[in-house]
Amino acid sequence: MNSSQMLITMAAMALLSMIILRTNSSFLNTSEVLINSKINIIAISLATSIIEEAKEKSFDENTSNSPVSSTAGLTTFLNLGPDGSETRVTFDDFDDFHNFAFVDTFVVDSLLLGFFNINAEVDYVTIANPDSAVTNQTWNKRLSVTISSESMTDTVRMSTVYSYWFFR
């Protein structure tokens, strides 16, 4: 084998090495994107679950058993949250989720995807400006759920507005 054939062989080996490295890099990036997507979907599912669970409850502690015809009959802004010794299992109204926080874990295919910090806040809002909390009672409450984790690159924030309607 002469020197020109040796140089061509070395160039071919170098080219093959670069192609293999680039392919492996692409596979690793794809795997990372897939894992991040799974983690974000789990976070969105957790937030949606909290929102759906809260919407199954009464609008207010004072509307559980009888209707209220004035906003003055609703729980004050300062008293939002669980009553006494209520826990998640015994929550009976929407605003019991105010200052609700817990940590959840998810395991998929024997792989721990991380710990999810879940925080919820309930505020009174107006229809004219549902993004800003107000301190007076209104017929509308907003639940904001925040999910964060060391495994996630972003924080998931979801919110919903729950309104009180009473039909006679």
77 and 135 in contact (C-beta within 8 Å)? Answer: yes
Q: pLDDT (tens digit, 9 = 90+) per residue, 42-89?
A: 899 999 999 999 999 999 988 888 888 888 989 899 999 898 888 888
The string over 42-57, giving b where at least 16 C-beta atoms fall within 10 Å of a residue's C-beta and e elsewhere, is bbeebbeebbeebeeb
Radius of gyration of the chain (CA): 26
Residue linked to tokens 């002469």: 2
Residue 22 tokens read as 């680039």
Q: Which strand (E) or helix (H) includes residue 5?
A: helix 3-55
Residue linked to tokens 């999910």: 147
107 and 95 in contact (C-beta within 8 Å)? Answer: no
Identity of the amino acid at 82: P
Residue 26 tokens read as 């692409």
Q: pLDDT (tens digit, 9 = 90+) per residue, 113-167?
A: 678 999 999 999 999 999 999 999 999 999 999 999 988 888 999 999 999 986 6
| pTM value surpassing 0.85 | no
